[in-house]
Amino acid sequence: MRKFMNLFSKHQATPFRNKLSNIGSTFLILLVFISLLYACGKDTSSDSTPSTTPVATVATGSLKLDSTTNTCFPSSVSGVYVAGTKLNSINYLEITVNVKKTGTYSITTPSVNGYYFTSSGTIKDSGLNTIKLYGVGTPGTAGVNTFAVTFSGTTCYINVTVAAVVVPTAFTFNCSGTKLNGDYYADSTVNASNYISLALTVTSVGAYNITTDSVNGIIFKGAGNFTTKGAQTITLLASGKPTVVGSFNYNVTSGTSTCAKTVTFSHK
């Protein structure tokens, strides 16, 4: 009997174990399939999420101090503007705006005479704000240029003055040909008869401004424009009132060129 049972057990256990093995394999495949479905469903859900990028808010306000009288807030012009000279970081307009709603802004004036002003950024505070519009370009000719500045539907106008080209001049003094003119008296104010005739040779035309040192209450000076080259004579007019009698030297200097003239003051 025991041998029979052992034989039965031997023949029946093997199929049973095979069935258990098959069931385990099927269950494992099912778990993998479910995991894949879950992962795919998660990816699909992520891809379908709509974009939520915020839209920038544009600043609003006014350049006007009073809408009734159409008066603009104060503005100013910074820098020196010279015909033919390119603008840099010190050339800008400074405007005042009354901001009602904060946000981004972009202001660019029309181009006038070869240059314009522009600025962009973000205004973070409501109320009165100062904005700098930086100059771009090169002024073409001398004169007064008017720029229209517009912000949030309001417009104001700013004038910019462009100076003429300053042409450097070059010359040397001819001291032997320089002469002193007029009579000089202590305690008597000089007049149009008191001057120095300064002889010189011009090598490069342009503007000049020549001044002596101030001695005994008197100074000689002259300014003008050389339009031709060569030997010329200019006038340095005296101004002031001598204080004491005596002889004093006046140095005429420009660059590396210097002449000295002695002026004697006497009693009248």
Asked if 152 and 239 sit in the same domain, the reply is no
Domain that holds residue 194: 170-263
In a domain? residue 156? yes
Average pLDDT rounded to a whole number, residues 109-134: 96
Same domain, 155 and 200: no
The CATH number assigned to the domain holding 115 equals 2.60.40.350
Say yes or no: 115 and 193 in one domain: no
pTM: 0.49
Domains in the chain, number: 2
Indicate the residue among 143, 162, 181 that finishes a domain.
Answer: 162
Last residue of a domain, one of 162, 187, 205: 162
Q: Which of 131, 162, 193 is the last residue of a domain?
A: 162
pLDDT given at position 215: 94
Residue pLDDT, tens place only, 173-214: 999 999 999 999 998 999 989 999 999 999 998 878 888 989
Sorting pLDDT into bands at 50, 70 and 90, what band is 8?
very low
> Is 15 part of any domain?
no
Residue 6 domain-assigned (yes or no): no
Mean pLDDT, the chain, whole residue set: 84
Tell me, what's the pLDDT at 38?
55
Domain identity same for 152 and 194: no
Examine the pLDDT at 115 and tell me if it is beyond 90: yes
Q: What are the pLDDT digits (tens) for 91-104?
A: 999 999 999 999 99
Q: Regarding predicted confidence, which is higher, 206 or 72? A: 72
Is 177 among the domain residues?
A: yes
Q: What is the DSSP string of the chain?
A: -HHHHHHHHHHHHHHHHHHHHHHHHHHHHHHHHHHHHHHHHHHHHHHTPPP-PPPPPBPEEESEEETTTTEEPP-EEES--BTT----TT-EEEEEEEEEE-EEEEEEPPPBTTEEEEEEEEE-S-EEEEEEEEEEE---SSEEEEEEEEETTEEEEEEEEEBPP----EEEE-GGG-EEES--BTTS---TT-EEEEEEEEEE-EEEEEEBPPBTTEEEEEEEEE-S-EEEEEEEEEEE---S-EEEEEEEEETTEEEEEEEEEB--
